[in-house]
Structure 1
């Protein structure tokens, strides 16, 4: 494998899990389902993906390189945590925002 592709390995490995988490975020709760909700959900999923890629890239390039596998493990952990944090913040923000709407 080309060493330049190592930072993207985490995205490839976690893509199925992110698809499951993203679809759960998209479909639940079922109401209200309007255009504002769809736009907010799509924006949250895009932001979470961008945050994952950027944090994975940053962690891979700033990890201690004494062990060959440590860079991938550290980058994957940081990226996964940042994705879940972004989705959690989006979930509670969406919940609060739609509770206050008429």
Structure 2
């Protein structure tokens, strides 16, 4: 298997979970809905996805061979989850007071 496919496999396998969480992040809370909110939500999700891919590749490259070849995929997946959910969580925490201020 080519190296670039192996490094992105952890992200690709969990892309449906990231899409579900991203959709929930965008759709809740239901109000207010304005263009600036959609742009901000999509920017947070895009940034979270990019950071997640970078973390996946970094984790795959830095994993030692102690646990075998599977350990590289496990570490890459854990880092992808941590980065994606961490940035979406931070985005949700920052968005909450911002939505209260915005008319």
Q: Distance in 2 between matches of 1:3 and 1:54?
A: 15
Q: Which residue of 1 aligns with 2:64?
A: 64
Note the aligned Cα RMSD (angstroms).
1.1
CA deviations over 1:21-59 (Å, ceiling 9, x no partner): 011011110101001101100101100100100111111
Greater mean deviation of Cα atoms: 16-25 or 61-70: 61-70
**Number of the residue aligned with 1:20:** 20
Show structure 1 runs of 4+ deviating over 3 A. Answer: none
Q: Which moved more, 1:75-84 or 1:91-100?
A: 91-100
Offset at residue 100 of structure 1 (A): 2.5
Pairing 1:81-100 to 2, within 5 Å after superposition: 81-100=82-101
Deviations 1:52-80 (A, max 9, x none): 00111111111112311101100100111
Structure 1: stretches of 5+ with no match in the other structure: none
Unmatched runs of 5 consecutive residues or more in structure 2: none
**Displacement, 1:97?**
1.2
- How many residues align? The count is 102
Q: Find the aligned partners of 1:12 and 1:58 in 2 and give their Cα distance.
A: 15
SS at match of 2:52: helix
Deviation of the 1:3 alpha carbon: 3.4
Partners of 2:26 and 2:4 in 1: CA distance: 33
